[in-house]
């Protein structure tokens, strides 16, 4: 019988992005369970299915922004660019799905709307948007950290007769060629979109709420010798990567910024600016950019100097220069600041001159000016981490709702398990590791499969995590975050990009190597913090 017709299976996987694909493979092909996947989109790929905006690409180098479990799909893969484009990422993920025979296990265009744990029988009852109910012993939520769209509320937006689009739901049929385009948002997405849109739009107006530290991506060709060496030493590359914090493939710095002379600091910053990549600039220059205020200010000062040197109009350069700490998820793109030298590009500083209303022809700012637009683009990010969980009614023991359990402080054990929600496993749930997400996903899915395998061997028992372990892990994540400069700035990594939301800790900032060590210790200590009953 087709798995998609069954009303009871061993495991349900929500989402078919990078995490869901690997979870399906692991549980179906390795543990030999009956697994059913539900995906809200019409195809696989998650982030890479939805984010089709002009300029979309991975800003983590493609040789480490992929699966390590599947070297074969990489064989003969035509990746010569340092970063994979959205089209290449989507093609890659589709190739993995087909190579491992996963497509027949996935039901597309179907949202999970609710899931309720039946304590008597130890099963999850999962409701979907097509009205079906499917039961499973294990529920894997691989719903993505950046999935639920965030867009500003603009007064009178219904009056606007042009087109509105979010970069995270980019339509197939939209060309910006020759159009008057406005874009709100200058995060990782905005900085990729802005140079690409400026190249084709007749006019591009950038509405900036916060200025951004953006370093070049350095989108070069990858030397053939490197690809050859990578293929020949695939496992070695990945073993080394798993011993690092950020897991982006570059050597992480061990030297504090203020321990060297000002000239040496400048030399190191310049070398990394030329090489490109945001994570490399933040973590490969010096070890304390994200920790020590003086080191951070030195990096800020260097980037502000670059902005002043690149942007010809001093007033525009000043508006593009951030004053706050360099403490958001690092951003990179090629030609970002250069784009503001183009005659068809204008910058509006929303803090000084906010949008007050939409009109039929565009938007009006506080200075009274109407900005005429054919297309208004929201590059305004996501309600991250918790957002997707707010769209499903997940009820654990005693009918408790997951989002109520979290309240204003999302907690978890290891970013994976939640007390009172047995056999529910999140991939990249609150307080997962802050690093390159591809190896973080593999680490968590491997751990989840390990727990499920153990449960099966013990006789299909129920796995719960205890409250003390959950509170302890959450507290450690809060302490670790406080040790860094990241909480000093409002950004999505603390959920504070949403208007009116305070900072809340959503990541473990100890790095991938420490996270993996912690998992190994827990396994060695008889799965401390877990109860198998």
Q: Rule CB under 6 A: is residue 381 a binding residue for ligand N01?
A: yes
- Give the Cα separation of 373 and 362 in Å (integer): 5
User: 48 and 41 in contact (C-beta within 8 Å)?
Assistant: no
Q: Rule CB under 6 A: is residue 288 a binding residue for ligand N01?
A: no
Smaller CB distance to ligand N01: residue 154 or 451?
154
Q: Rule CB under 6 A: is residue 190 a binding residue for ligand N01?
A: yes
Site for ligand N01 in 329-348 (CB under 6 A): 329
Interface stretch with ligand N01, choices 53-61, 253-261, 415-423, 520-528 (CB under 6 A): 53-61
Q: Would you tell me how many other CB atoms lie within 10 Å of the CB of residue 31?
A: 16
Among 214, 379, 416, 463, binds ligand N01 (CB under 6 A): 379
- Give the Cα separation of 61 and 82 in Å (integer): 5
Q: Would you tell me how many other CB atoms lie within 10 Å of the CB of residue 262?
A: 9
Q: Rule CB under 6 A: is residue 152 a binding residue for ligand N01?
A: yes
Q: Rule CB under 6 A: is residue 210 a binding residue for ligand N01?
A: yes
- Give the Cα separation of 444 and 115 in Å (integer): 21
Interface stretch with ligand N01, choices 111-119, 291-299, 378-386, 520-528 (CB under 6 A): 378-386
- Give the Cα separation of 270 and 296 in Å (integer): 15
Q: Rule CB under 6 A: is residue 184 a binding residue for ligand N01?
A: yes
Interface stretch with ligand N01, choices 185-193, 226-234, 416-424, 441-449 (CB under 6 A): 185-193
Smaller CB distance to ligand N01: residue 324 or 359?
324
Q: Rule CB under 6 A: is residue 189 a binding residue for ligand N01?
A: yes
Q: What is the total count of residues that contact ligand N01 (CB under 6 A)?
A: 25
Q: Would you tell me how many other CB atoms lie within 10 Å of the CB of residue 338?
A: 15
Cα maximum dimension of the chain: 70
Interface stretch with ligand N01, choices 12-20, 36-44, 181-189, 319-327 (CB under 6 A): 181-189
Residue 52 β-bridge partners: none
- Give the Cα separation of 176 and 27 in Å (integer): 43
Phi–psi pair at 90, nearest 5 degrees? -65, -40
- Give the Cα separation of 267 and 74 in Å (integer): 36
x/- mask, ligand N01, residues 129-148, rule CB under 6 A, reads: -----------------x--
Site for ligand N01 in 1-40 (CB under 6 A): none
Interface stretch with ligand N01, choices 51-59, 244-252, 287-295, 475-483 (CB under 6 A): 51-59
- Give the Cα separation of 215 and 56 in Å (integer): 16
- State how beta strands 203-208 and 180-184 pair: parallel
Smaller CB distance to ligand N01: residue 417 or 435?
435
Q: Rule CB under 6 A: is residue 209 a binding residue for ligand N01?
A: yes
Q: Which residue is nearest to ligand N01 (CB)?
A: 187
Among 15, 43, 45, 185, binds ligand N01 (CB under 6 A): 185
Among 62, 86, 188, 431, binds ligand N01 (CB under 6 A): 188
Secondary structure (DSSP) of 35-83? EEEE-SSSSS-THHHH---TT-B-SS-TTTSS-SS-HHHHTT----BSS
Among 107, 110, 186, 431, binds ligand N01 (CB under 6 A): 186
Interface stretch with ligand N01, choices 158-166, 180-188, 311-319, 385-393 (CB under 6 A): 180-188
x/- mask, ligand N01, residues 456-495, rule CB under 6 A, reads: ------------------------------------x---
Phi–psi pair at 388, nearest 5 degrees? -65, -30
- Give the Cα separation of 359 and 369 in Å (integer): 11
What angle do the packed helices 224-232 and 234-241 form, to 10 degrees? 90
Smaller CB distance to ligand N01: residue 190 or 529?
190
Helix, strand, coil percentages for the chain (3-state, nearest 5):
35, 20, 45
Q: Rule CB under 6 A: is residue 321 a binding residue for ligand N01?
A: no
Site for ligand N01 in 57-96 (CB under 6 A): 57-60
In the 8-state DSSP scheme, what is residue 199?
T
Residue 124 β-bridge partners: 117, 136
x/- mask, ligand N01, residues 492-521, rule CB under 6 A, reads: x----x-x----------------------
User: 161 and 360 in contact (C-beta within 8 Å)?
Assistant: yes
Q: How far is the CB of 422 from ligand N01 (least distance, A)?
A: 31
Binding residues (CB under 6 A) for ligand N01: these are 57-60, 146, 150, 152, 184-190, 192, 209-210, 329, 350, 379-381, 492, 497, 499
């Amino acid at each position: 019988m087709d798995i998609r017709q069954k009303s009871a299976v061993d495991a349900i996987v929500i989402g078919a992005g990078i995490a869901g694909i690997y979870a399906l493979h692991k549980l179906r092909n390795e543990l030999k369970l009956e697994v059913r996947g539900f995906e809200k989109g019409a195809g696989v790929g998650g982030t890479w299915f939805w984010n089709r905006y002009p300029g979309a690409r991975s800003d983590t180098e493609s040789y480490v922004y992929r699966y390590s479990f599947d070297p074969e799909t990489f064989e003969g893969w035509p990746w010569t660019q340092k970063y994979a484009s959205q089209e290449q990422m989507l093609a890659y993920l589709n190739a993995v799905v087909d190579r491992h025979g996963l497509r027949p296990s996935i039901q597309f265009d179907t949202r999970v709307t609710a899931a309720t744990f039946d304590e008597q029988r130890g099963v999850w009852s999962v409701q979907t948007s097509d009205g079906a109910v499917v039961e499973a012993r294990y529920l894997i939520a691989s719903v993505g950290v950046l999935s639920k769209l965030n867009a500003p509320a603009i007064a009178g937006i219904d009056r606007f007769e042009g087109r509105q689009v979010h970069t995270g739901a980019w339509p197939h049929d939209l060309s910006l060629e020759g159009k008057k385009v406005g874009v709100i948002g200058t995060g990782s997405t905005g900085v990729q979109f802005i140079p690409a849109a400026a190249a084709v739009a007749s006019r591009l107006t950038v509405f900036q709420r916060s200025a951004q530290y953006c370093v070049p991506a350095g989108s070069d060709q990858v030397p053939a010798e490197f690809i050859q060496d990578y293929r020949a030493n695939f496992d070695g590359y990945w073993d080394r990567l798993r011993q690092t914090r950020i897991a982006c493939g570059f050597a992480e710095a061990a030297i504090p910024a203020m321990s060297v002379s000002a000239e040496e600091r400048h030399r190191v910053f310049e070398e990394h600016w030329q090489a490109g990549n945001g994570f490399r600039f933040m973590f490969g220059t010096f070890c304390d950019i994200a920790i020590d205020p003086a080191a951070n200010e030195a990096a800020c000062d260097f980037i502000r100097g670059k902005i002043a040197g690149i942007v010809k109009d001093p007033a525009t350069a000043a508006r593009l220069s951030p004053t706050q700490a360099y403490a958001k998820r690092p951003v990179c793109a090629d030609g970002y600041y250069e784009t503001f030298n183009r005659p068809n590009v204008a910058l509006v500083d929303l803090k000084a001159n906010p949008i007050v209303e939409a009109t039929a022809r565009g938007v009006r700012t506080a200075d009274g000016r109407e900005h005429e637009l054919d297309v208004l683009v929201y590059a305004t990010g996501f309600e991250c981490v918790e957002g997707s969980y707010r769209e499903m009614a997940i009820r654990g023991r005693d009918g408790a709702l997951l989002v109520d359990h979290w309240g204003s402080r999302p907690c978890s054990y290891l970013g994976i398990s939640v007390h009172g929600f047995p056999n529910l496993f999140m991939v990249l749930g609150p307080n997962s590791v802050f690093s390159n997400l591809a190896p973080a996903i593999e680490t968590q899915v491997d751990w989840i499969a390990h727990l499920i395998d153990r449960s099966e061997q013990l006789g299909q028992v129920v796995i719960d995590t205890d409250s003390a372990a959950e509170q302890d892990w959450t507290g450690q994540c809060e302490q670790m975050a406080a040790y860094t400069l990241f909480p000093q700035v409002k950004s999505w990594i603390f959920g504070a990009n949403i208007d009116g939301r305070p900072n809340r800790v959503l990541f473990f900032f100890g790095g991938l190597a420490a996270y993996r060590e912690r998992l190994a210790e827990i396994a060695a200590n008889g799965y401390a913090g877990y109860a198998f009953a």
